[in-house]
Amino acid sequence: METKINLLKEKLNQELKNINDSKSLYSLQSSYLGKTGEISLMMRELGKVDKEERPKLGQIINQLKEWAISKFFNASQTIKLNELLSRYKNEEIDVTLPAKSQKYGSLHPITLVTNELLDIFTGLGFYVYEGPEIENDYYCFTALNLPKDHPARDMQDTFYLSEDLLLRVQTSAGQIRAMEQNKPPLKVVVPGRVYRIDDLDSTHSPMFHQMEGLVIDKHVTLCDLKGVLEILAKKMFGEESKTRLRPSFFPFTEPSVEVDVTCCGCGGKGCKICKNTGWIEVLGAGMVHPNVIKNAGLDPEIYSGFAFGVGLERIAILKYGIKDLKWLYENDVRFLSQFKI
């Protein structure tokens, strides 16, 4: 038995010299100290030995087991240290190398235009109101003086969710809610997304952005509207910009006007952008219709007001020279990175 133990020790020492990783060491340890390992099998053979020799032989095998455990422990510590040093070497970082540059994001052109408009209007005393995107028929149409047979109610133009609920087609829906919740004098802008059934192309989209402006007070006139719009044009397109009003029709304003500004491409001299007219249409506006004021619970004999609606995509296209509306929705980083501030 002693000869067998000595041979086993020699064998174990030789095999340990060839072990370089924890996985192989664990496998070797199991072959000696596992349930079916060589030393474990020797412990089981004690039952076949005479009772007189069993205590002495058991002591020798236990000493062998403790010796083997000690050898495996020492080998494990050495291998773990070597593996850790190897890992450190592989993951070594040269702190003297220049740092990787950090890429910074940029605001979307629509966000830039929205923020700039909000700065302008809040500077004029307007407050910001955000109405719901899912609106009901009353606020989106009826309260805005659109009769039941108006084409804008047609399902070909409007995303209806039910008989009464729809995705708002204009931020004008916020007019009535703002007037219901606040007593005059009232100066409010309503920015947000709006939806209309349309195909996405270079000039149209089924989802786009608007900003509605509303002023309600006593003795408000069309001159007040023109004054605000002139400030808007100069702040957005330059101090040399001018505005002009052309007669138009909207059910919720009377009189209604289309608003043009001096072409930002040619300064009013005439070019391809403005079709040689020197003017570009930017928004619709007008004096709030008496029926709309009445629907908000106010007396049109006492109060008057003006409203305007501006398309934010249109402003962004004109301001930044964007040639295709689809570019605003494609999330191309090469395009968006041009608008860093």
Per-residue pLDDT for 227 more than 70? yes
Rounded mean pLDDT, 298-326: 92
Same domain, 81 and 121: no
- Paired with 262 in beta bridges are 279
Residue 155: predicted pLDDT: 60
d(CA 268, CA 278): 4
Q: Which residues have a Cβ under 8 Å from the Cβ of 218 and sit 6 or more positions away?
A: 184, 185, 302, 303, 304
CA 119 from centre of chain: 22
Per-residue pLDDT for 292 more than 90? yes
Rounded mean pLDDT, 323-339: 86
CA distances from 61 to 9, 35, 67, 338 (A): 12, 15, 10, 79
Answer for the pair 134, 160: CB distance below 8 angstroms, yes or no: no
Q: At 98, is the pLDDT very low, low, confident or very high (cuts 50, 70, 90)?
A: confident
Same domain, 63 and 127: no
Residue 156: predicted pLDDT: 62
Q: At 341, is the pLDDT very low, low, confident or very high (cuts 50, 70, 90)?
A: low
Domain that residue 212 falls in:
109-339
Same domain, 60 and 133: no
d(CA 241, CA 127): 25
Same domain, 74 and 127: no
Residue 96: predicted pLDDT: 86
* Residue 229 is assigned to a structural domain of this protein: yes
* Residue 100 is assigned to a structural domain of this protein: no
Q: At 263, is the pLDDT very low, low, confident or very high (cuts 50, 70, 90)?
A: confident
d(CA 208, CA 319): 17
For helices 54-90 and 2-17, the axis angle rounded to 10 degrees is 0
AA letter at 205 = S
Task: Residue 332: give its domain's CATH number.
Answer: 3.30.930.10
Q: At 338, is the pLDDT very low, low, confident or very high (cuts 50, 70, 90)?
A: confident
Q: At 270, is the pLDDT very low, low, confident or very high (cuts 50, 70, 90)?
A: confident
Residue 213: predicted pLDDT: 95
Same domain, 147 and 283: yes
Answer for the pair 214, 293: CB distance below 8 angstroms, yes or no: no
* Coil/strand/helix, residue 156: coil
Pairing of strands 279-288, 253-262: antiparallel
Rounded mean pLDDT, 230-252: 91
Answer for the pair 12, 32: CB distance below 8 angstroms, yes or no: yes
Q: Which residue has the higher pLDDT, 66 or 154?
A: 66
Of 38-42, 124-128, 237-241, the poorest mean pLDDT is in: 38-42
Same domain, 73 and 212: no
Same domain, 47 and 79: yes
AA letter at 179 = M
Q: Which residue has the higher pLDDT, 139 or 67?
A: 139
Residue 300: predicted pLDDT: 94
Same domain, 64 and 170: no
Rounded mean pLDDT, 304-323: 92
Residue 41 structure tokens: 């099998």
Same domain, 73 and 190: no
Same domain, 271 and 325: yes
d(CA 209, CA 214): 17
* Residue 138 is assigned to a structural domain of this protein: yes
Rounded mean pLDDT, 145-167: 82
CA 298 from centre of chain: 40
Task: Please write the tens of the pLDDT for every residue from 10-44.
Answer: 888 888 888 888 888 888 888 888 887 888 777 77
Per-residue pLDDT for 1 more than 70? no
* Residue 71 is assigned to a structural domain of this protein: yes
Per-residue pLDDT for 246 more than 90? yes
Answer for the pair 222, 194: CB distance below 8 angstroms, yes or no: no
* Mean of per-residue pLDDT scores for the chain: 87
User: Which of 49-63, 221-235, 268-282: highest mean pLDDT?
Assistant: 221-235
d(CA 233, CA 121): 12
The closest of 169, 204, 164, 172 to 188, measured between CA atoms, is 172
Helices marked H in 173-302: 173-181, 222-237, 290-295
Same domain, 136 and 28: no
Per-residue pLDDT for 103 more than 80? no
What's 160's DSSP letter? Answer: B
Answer for the pair 110, 153: CB distance below 8 angstroms, yes or no: no
* Residue 328 is assigned to a structural domain of this protein: yes
Same domain, 319 and 189: yes
Radius of gyration over alpha carbons of the chain, in Å? 41
* Residue 289 is assigned to a structural domain of this protein: yes
Q: Which residue has the higher pLDDT, 55 or 127?
A: 127
* Residue 153 is assigned to a structural domain of this protein: yes
Maximum distance among all Cα pairs of the chain, rounded to whole angstroms: 123
* Residue 262 is assigned to a structural domain of this protein: yes
d(CA 334, CA 341): 15
Number of domains observed in the structure of the chain: 2
Of 84-93, 243-252, 294-303, the poorest mean pLDDT is in: 84-93
